Chain A
């Protein structure tokens, strides 16, 4: 038991930055029990610690790449360059379809340069092929602030 505690202290540095604190009961489905079919196996350990050494680095990969690129750009061309680009990213990110429909994000892709590359995110787990869809009325009401 004490070994487990020591182990978790050593792994504390790997704790994910955002620990979901959405109530104490694990994601309950309609019957009050974990919905294994829709949400996969549940494990308290997996919600606190990364289940794979690459999980944290992959989660933050895009952010880290952007940070790296913006810092390099700032060092070469001055502060205005990353600021202008970030403004454009923000504007492009706002072009979305209705909340329950998948958006193509074409403008954002073009800005990022990912319209000319293929990665794993284009082949696996394509959001356009997702089996789940949110309830359209509720999602639009939530977005418009009526809910």
Chain B
């Protein structure tokens, strides 16, 4: 019963050449996601493009996922994997926090995620940036698909991570103010959007502080879709004068009417 779909998929892949079509590629979020720890909390940022091979599948997808009221997680990699993984961990963390009767900690979410990803040895393609504020202060982790994690003051993941990291390395300072941190994250994501094909559209931000979460979606519409010029509106109504009007009704006769009852027994 385990891995039955895999047998079917390998069979399909083997026969696909004969059928002359191709298997649908997995929807990925070739992405730029990043996070930064500032004075009072963390700022997480993400772009909003989801790609399916070389085609943009979703121009405005949401990559910052809810884990708990004080913890949010950005996801890069296979879209389904990041979505389901974060939902699973969010449910488990909720049950855990009900059981312990405390606000969940970022380290708990990190450990749950890394243990699950290591168990599946990288076959779950989810690269995550996990950030939140708990009783011990603000924390930011980056989690790789094979299960390794890093706890750092600023992290970037995804195909646009190098562009975003360049911005961080240039302008990051410890203990920034909120506006400065938001501007830095916005600029890092913008660098990913404009320099990486896999990232695009808008910039979403999530500012998490002790007791408050600002989910800014969209924070900045970096790529606005152009407005179509209405060619038909050049000619106003009444440009052409109406000279005569003639109405001819079509004669339709009802030839035959039959009723077929459905067999609903």
Contact = CB atoms under 8 A, between A and B. Distances in A.
Interface of A: 40-41, 43, 46, 50-55, 57-59, 61, 116-120, 125
B10 A51 contact: yes
Interface string B194-225: 00000000000000000000000000000000
Contacts of A54: 120-121, 123
Interface of B: 1-4, 6-8, 10-11, 88, 91-92, 95-96, 99, 119-121, 123
A98 B3 CA distance: 28
Contact of A51 (B1, B3, B92, B99): B3
B154 to A, nearest CB: 32
Contacts of B91: 118
A55 B2 contact: yes
Interface of B is mostly: helix
Interface of A is mostly: loop
Given A58-B2, A116-B96, A117-B92, A46 B7 contact: yes
B7 A51 contact: yes
Contacts of B88: 118-120
A115 to B, nearest CB: 9
A79 B144 CA distance: 38
A52 B10 CA distance: 10
Contacts of B7: 40-41, 43, 46, 51
Contacts of B3: 50-52, 55
Nearest to B95: A116
A9 B6 CA distance: 23
A57 B219 CA distance: 44
A116 B92 CA distance: 7
A40 B6 CA distance: 11
A41 B6 CA distance: 10
Contacts of A117: 92, 95
12 contacts: A40-B4, A40-B7, A40-B8, A41-B11, A50-B3, A51-B10, A52-B3, A54-B120, A55-B3, A116-B99, A117-B95, A118-B92
Interface centre among A40, A55, A57 (most CB of B within 10 A): A40
Contact of A61 (B4, B10, B11, B119): B119
Given A41-B11, A117-B95, A118-B88, A53 B121 contact: yes
A109 to B, nearest CB: 13
A116 B97 CA distance: 10
B47 to A, nearest CB: 29
Which 9 pairs from chain A and chain B are nearest by CB? A40-B4, A118-B91, A116-B95, A41-B7, A52-B3, A55-B3, A51-B6, A52-B6, A117-B92
Contact of B95 (A50, A51, A118): A118
Nearest to A46: B7
Contacts of B99: 116
A52 B99 CA distance: 36
Contacts of B8: 40-41
A125 B1 contact: yes
Contacts of B6: 51-52
Given A40-B4, A41-B7, 14 more contacts: A40-B8, A46-B7, A50-B3, A51-B3, A51-B6, A51-B10, A54-B121, A55-B2, A57-B121, A116-B99, A117-B95, A118-B88, A119-B88, A120-B88
Contacts of A119: 88
A118 B4 CA distance: 22
Nearest to A113: B99
A46 B8 CA distance: 11
Contacts of A51: 3, 6-7, 10
A59 B95 contact: no
B49 to A, nearest CB: 28
B230 to A, nearest CB: 49
A53 B122 CA distance: 11
